[in-house]
Chains A and B, each alone.
Chain A
């Protein structure tokens, strides 16, 4: 579905030049559960952001369903992210001034939908992550695990084909981490979503279909 070829990413700051990714070739296939592993700073987030079209590679090609994205406009990229991708982050990135259900509805605000429709989809998504009884709460009233479940509900509310998760269990203890892992597995197995997950936990990685290892920006085989 998403194919990365010979991806290279260089971060240029005033003083130094960082080669964050070097010669990366990955293809994400429909329905798979892929994990990306590697030590901190090896370029995992950079790779995931490039897959999610949030960042541009310095070199290399990205194709989506065999179409190169080089000529995608900002609008088309945004629409693609909105409809096809669902993001989950290590630090949740919930908006504290919005209630749980409003947070979950957020992606639907960037497409045409009615308020009623949005509410219904958000309720369904919250039910899937087991948070139906926390809809009116605010993020500050939730535990870390609950926050991440809200973030997952937000990622799946628009029924995306691909879920991109950047260390979704990184800020959680192992019990809560397992819960999140179960939800992701279920989304993959039951709902047929393609999941790409960044982690540096071997246990978590073992539960996925395929593993891409990074070290210092390069793929390790």
Chain B
């Protein structure tokens, strides 16, 4: 019977062409949306690698001076001032590409012949305490590293994989702008929000007491709120007359970063729903038309021995076959994505997305065909065969 249905649809492929194209496009859009969703869900389930609650960012901006050397002192004064409060657990200068900030800083790094792009972060010895970073190997850089031959760095697990594979990265010398020695690895670093990939990155130390950055990360004690924030703000204003001081919370920054993912995702989902709705309407239309045009055929099939169930099975079967044709074409294109590495997505993401898309399309088609096919089955054979 299945072969019979394939033959029937194949012979009327011109009639089914529109529907096949529609289902094909829905499948492709669904596949694209689901690939992204699966990726986001996978990323969401991965650890952030640090704690962002109770971490504030103090941004300092001198509005007039541009000469950097003469500015060192007030930045360090500000840092000391913040650290002096009992509410503050830890502080660290950090480069502009703070967690959940829009700014990024990339560079290519090399180990032997292998190279990888890496995010470059410049932070203090106190950074792991401020962010409660989880180390997977080695240690963070500290004072004992001063005066050693190679500048000590900490890398992320992702970069370790890229450069060293399964080898132990500790002690390895890599080349960025100069040569650096890996002293530690952080387990994960997902600094662009819940839904992004853990990054390949390098943490460089700020030279103690000399260097500074205009952003200070501040870890406050749990429960520290607006009263302290106001006090801090006022104090910094008094200390740095004429400067622009801004205090942000990492939780807010994270929410903003998540929106960058959420908004396009929502738009895509709406487009996808609209398309699927359209396809459903098309399916309904074609099925109703089919049943009216094919009354004679329904009557004939009943006359030669089809039961009511056979008739409804046939109509559902036909749209399933049409969907199968569309899905075969769709899958042919879909498998090109992992095969040709069109986007930087893992093959398993595509496979899961394909599987879900196929199931969704088949379910959709069955749901749409259910009522019309029952209608077809309930047509009285004598009525269907009636001719004037």
Contact = CB atoms under 8 A, between A and B. Distances in A.
B303 A87 contact: yes
A107 B387 contact: no
B299 A93 contact: yes
A102 interface: yes
A149 interface: no
Contact of A110 (B12, B305, B308): B305
A199 interface: no
Contact of B381 (A54, A82, A90, A97): A54
B304 A81 contact: yes
A75 B311 CA distance: 12
Contact of A82 (B8, B304, B309): B304
Interface residues of B, number: 27
A142 interface: no
A98 B297 CA distance: 12
Contacts, number: 77
Contacts of B12: 97
A178 interface: no
A54 B385 contact: yes
Given A54-B303, A78-B305, A107-B304, A90 B8 contact: no
Given A107-B305, A110-B306, A97 B385 contact: no
Nearest to A167: B387
Q: Which of B11, B302, B303, B309 has the most chain A CB within a 10 Å cutoff? A: B303
A90 B380 contact: no
A49 B382 contact: yes
Contacts of B307: 74-75, 78
Nearest to B15: A97
A116 to B, nearest CB: 13
B381 to A, nearest CB: 4
B297 A78 contact: no
A111 interface: yes
A55 B305 contact: no
A161 to B, nearest CB: 14
B11 A97 contact: yes
A49 B308 contact: no
Contact of A106 (B3, B296, B299, B304): B304
A194 interface: no
Nearest to B12: A97
Q: Which of B296, B301, B306, B382 has the most chain A CB within a 10 Å cutoff? A: B382
Interface residues of A, number: 33
B310 A78 contact: yes
Nearest to B308: A74
Nearest to A78: B307
Given A93-B299, A97-B8, A54 B382 contact: yes
Interface in B292-329: 296-297, 299-310
B231 interface: no
Contact of A109 (B4, B300, B381, B387): B4
B259 interface: no
A81 B387 contact: no
A184 to B, nearest CB: 17
Contacts of B8: 95, 97-98
A115 B387 contact: no
A85 to B, nearest CB: 8
Given A54-B302, A115-B3, 18 more contacts: A45-B386, A46-B382, A49-B382, A75-B307, A78-B306, A79-B305, A81-B303, A81-B305, A87-B300, A89-B387, A91-B296, A91-B387, A95-B8, A97-B8, A97-B11, A102-B7, A106-B301, A154-B304
Interface of B: 1, 3-4, 7-8, 11-12, 296-297, 299-310, 380-382, 385-387
5 tightest Cβ-Cβ pairs between the two chains A and B: A82-B305, A55-B382, A110-B305, A107-B304, A78-B307
